Amino acid sequence: MPELYLPILLGTIRRGNRTGDVARFVLSRGRRFPEVETRIVDPATLPFANLVEREWEMAERPPEIAGFVDEMARADGFLIVTPEYNYGIPGTLKNLLDLVYDEWNRKPFGLLGVGAIAGGQRAVDQLRVIVAGLGAVSVPRPVAIPRVASSFGPDGPTDDIERVNTTIDGLWRDLIWYARALKVARAADAPA
């Protein structure tokens, strides 16, 4: 049983999105770390659109939501892979993050932006503020994938491959470091 569960949260459900290619490559790199269990959480498989109720306000939780909550509770940290839409994060990702709270609290988030010229940096900057609002911490390392339409394909990076591999592995290593540290800290001191 791997020591840490670190799911990848995909930020979009746009048909034909390119961020999915990046997420699948991030998954393949994450699976090289024996201490990590990971998978892609695709919001398209969850039965919500715009936020109507938070999970704990629902009279009856659909089974997919209950499964999502349990899975996030079990996680030791998260790696968000998201596109930037009009200088911000997709509404889908915000709705997913707003659905629960305790399950994110005091856990680390690795952030990877995908975009055109700016490589999703503005989305990542916004996420740092949002993650603080969740009572969680963001891994400081900035990771951006610019020009995704030409720099990435279904099999991974097509451009500057060594640099992209090193950057993504570095993000995984940092996330692992924070996940370990915060897991020990949470066990020693439960949230008030």
Ligand X SMILES: Cc1cc2nc3c(=O)[nH]c(=O)nc-3n(C[C@H](O)[C@H](O)[C@H](O)COP(=O)(O)O)c2cc1C
Residues engaged in binding ligand X (CB under 6 A): 12, 14, 17-19, 83-87, 114-118, 148-149
Q: How far is the CB of 79 from ligand X (least distance, A)?
A: 16
Question: Nearest distance from residue 147's CB to ligand X, in Å?
Answer: 9
Tell me if 99 sits within 8 A of 127, measured CB to CB.
no
Cβ-based nearer residue to ligand X, 124 or 136: 124
Nearest by Cα to 28 from 143, 152, 156, 162: 156
Closest contact distance (angstroms) between CB of 5 and ligand X is 25
**Cβ nearer to ligand X, comparing 91 with 170:** 91
Using Cβ positions, the residue closest to ligand X within the complex turns out to be: 115
For 97, half-sphere exposure in the C-beta direction (CA atoms, 13 angstrom radius) is 28
Instruction: Select 77 or 115, whichever has its Cβ closest to ligand X.
Output: 115
Min separation Cβ 85 and ligand X, Å:
4
C-beta neighbour count of 173 within 10 angstroms: 13
DSSP helix/strand/coil, 32? coil
Cα(1)–Cα(102) distance, integer angstroms = 24
